[in-house]
A and B are shown apart, each in its own frame.
Chain A
Amino acid sequence: MAGTLSVAQALAYVRKASEPEEPPPMLLSGPLVWVRDNLFSSIVSGLTTLAFIALALWLAPPAIEWATTLAVWSAPDGSLCRQHQDGACWAFIAAKLDYLRFGSYPVSERWRVEVVEALGAGLTLWLLWPKAPRRGWAAVMFFAVYPVLTFVLLRGSETLGLPTVDTLLWGGMLVSLLTAVVGIVFSLPLGITLALGRRSQMPVVRLASVMFIEFVRGVPFITILFMANTMLPLFVPEAWTPDRLLRPLIGIALFSAAYMAEEVRGGLQSLGRGQYEGALALGLNYPRMMALVILPQALVMVIPGIVNNFIGLFMDTTLISVVGATDFLEAMNNAFKDPAWSGPTIVASGYAFAGMFYFVFCYGMARYSAFMERVLAKGHRK
């Protein structure tokens, strides 16, 4: 008896003093350690690194030389470019820049486009910068005031003394950016509406949403464009026949909305029933529950998908030329037809410039989306 007690006492333990808190041991860090751990951690990894460095050294310098030191930066016409065929012909872009920006928009009225572009850029920055003051106002301006102002300025208004400019004359970056902005501004709200419709309790609303989404998703975009171009005039009274540029704009907004709806639906489905019940139990009605509780969470979750759609939409603007609109890429193709500027390097330079134009906007959207994800993730860690 006494023996077992002493064994138990020997196994029992009571702490007398707390362990001191100590700093971690010296960590191995620094650039050399990073290079060893990430680039040369094994033989295969080291060989891969070397192979890619070699590839970069082989490909990059000629491309950079072609675009910079060997390039023709200014010339009155294409003859200088035809003599220097080992470099890009940026002089062509410089000579055609106004046409690439405005298409056939009358030269005397181009300031109107520039005002619209400057306002758009300013408002976009105001709206997208998370710490900017009064972003609510920015949203009102961007979604309510700006579209009206843009329409009046670009289209013209006799009462304001602005001559009307037919949309057939619009072209270049103006049309590309306009199409993208209209598509983005209309497809997101429409997509959200369709997503909510698809999850509605009302069978008619649900069926209509499902039919629209599945129909649009099952048809190629070019088909939608042709249909918008030829069928819209059939369905509306002649006096209301949509403008030739408006038809592809409607087409792209509807097309993008169907894909947006499916992204948003994914976000809605990822929220548990508890969020709905929490909101309902407080007495929030359906619109407030959606606007204040459900959508803010669902949309944040699908930001990558939404931005992916925006990027796709921006690329798809190049297709509206099939129904006769002169987007930026089409304007570039038109510019190649100038006999004063014909030559092999000119076409290559033109497409390189077009590629950079699209890349800048799409990469910008991608980076902004990544930035917003980080900002919003800070707010509510789950």
Chain B
Amino acid sequence: MTTSSLEASNSIAIDFVGVHKWYGRFHALRNINLSVRRGERIVVCGPSGSGKSTLIRCVNRLEEYQRGLIVVDGVELTQDIRRIDEVRRDVGMVFQSFNLFPHLTVLENCALAPIWVRKMPRRDAENLAMQLLTRVKIPEQSSKYPGQLSGGQQQRVAIARALSMNPRIMLFDEPTSALDPEMVKEVLDTMTALAQDGMTMIVVTHEMGFARQIADRVVFMDNGEIVEINAPKLFFDNPQHDRTRLFLSQILR
């Protein structure tokens, strides 16, 4: 780890303390403890149904948890809807299925939240949206509707839309899993650029090359619990837990 990122890691961005979650009787998250430092890039991996998505969806309260504590940027997530909104303004999220708004143009998708949540004048919001679309390298698509774009382009718009609220933390929930293979790279490149700009990121993904290249730490989950946390080099070259070794042997050939 470089000195600059050590300095940036002085404050904690997200803190999970003994978090449990149940879906009905199903124990989906079991005693999750994890501190994400500011500027840190965390990759979460694990078999399907292991609770990875549930974990990051708890951070912006798309899912409730029943026991424990999550603190995001010093704000404790409670039932209080104002606190939840405060956290959501600070945390951007990118979904597997993009979740762009099909009735709005690409530009309107990216300007919507700044206009209505940040109360930014329309012209400023549209300028900001154009800047972000330039950053994800699709400014020329701004007047099209999401349905007219390829999957990779849609996901880059979704990243730009999430960035429009100027978040300090970005969550990625399997951002490349719904993409055709030839479009995975353009999305990963966008995420890599974001990581290099110092964004705090939690990424749920099966892209192990990306994890190895970008992650500060890799979190392996299975059966609702965190099994192993390690730096990517150690995680991939010398996994400690049996379940980690089994998982890696299944996905890496």
Contact = CB atoms under 8 A, between A and B. Distances in A.
Interface residues of A, number: 22
Given A277-B62, A297-B103, A284 B95 contact: no
B200 interface: no
A278 B101 contact: yes
B116 A288 contact: yes
Contacts of B91: 281
B178 to A, nearest CB: 11
B145 A379 contact: yes
Contact of B145 (A274, A288, A381): A381
Contacts of B147: 380-382
A292 B95 contact: no
B116 A275 contact: no
B89 interface: yes
A282 B145 CA distance: 19
Contacts of B148: 381
A292 B100 contact: no
Contacts, number: 71
A70 interface: no
A346 B99 CA distance: 62
B39 to A, nearest CB: 21
Contact of A281 (B93, B116, B145): B93
B85 A380 contact: no
A271 to B, nearest CB: 10
Contacts of B161: 282
B56 to A, nearest CB: 11
B102 A382 contact: yes
A292 B62 contact: no
A296 interface: yes
Interface residues of B, number: 29
Interface in A159-217: none
Interface string B146-175: 111000000000000110110000000000
Nearest to A277: B62
A285 interface: yes
B51 interface: no
B95, B99, B147 interface centre (most CB from chain A within 10 Å) = B99
Contacts of A375: none
Contacts of B93: 277, 281
A279 B146 CA distance: 15
B58 to A, nearest CB: 13
Nearest to A281: B93
Given A277-B62, A278-B99, A284 B113 contact: yes
Interface in A53-71: none
Contacts of A279: 101
Given A283-B165, A381-B147, A274 B95 contact: yes
Interface in B107-144: 112-113, 116-117
A300 interface: yes
A280 interface: yes
B232 interface: no
Contact of B102 (A280, A282, A292, A297): A297
Nearest to B100: A278
B114 to A, nearest CB: 9
Contacts of B92: 281
A280 B89 CA distance: 9
B243 interface: no
Contacts of A293: 101, 112
A280 B88 CA distance: 7
A274 B94 CA distance: 11
A285 B85 contact: yes
B205 interface: no
B162 to A, nearest CB: 7
B176 interface: no
A275 B162 CA distance: 14
Contacts of B100: 278
B85 A292 contact: no
B101 A284 contact: no
B116 A277 contact: no
Given A274-B95, A275-B101, A380 B146 contact: yes
B54 interface: no
A380 B145 contact: yes
Nearest to A286: B81
A275 B161 CA distance: 14
Contacts of A277: 62, 93, 95, 99
Nearest to B161: A282
Contacts of A282: 88, 112-113, 117, 161-162, 164-165
B190 interface: no
A272, A292, A296 interface centre (most CB from chain B within 10 Å) = A292
Interface of B: 60, 62, 81, 85, 88-89, 91-93, 95, 97-103, 112-113, 116-117, 145-148, 161-162, 164-165
Cβ-closest 10 pairs across A and B: A278-B99, A274-B99, A283-B89, A281-B93, A282-B113, A283-B88, A380-B102, A380-B145, A381-B147, A283-B117
Given A278-B95, A300-B103, A381-B148, 4 more contacts: A283-B117, A285-B85, A293-B101, A380-B146
26 contacts: A274-B97, A274-B99, A275-B101, A277-B99, A278-B100, A278-B101, A280-B60, A280-B88, A281-B93, A281-B99, A282-B113, A283-B85, A283-B165, A284-B113, A288-B116, A292-B116, A293-B112, A296-B103, A297-B101, A297-B103, A379-B103, A379-B145, A380-B102, A381-B147, A381-B148, A382-B147
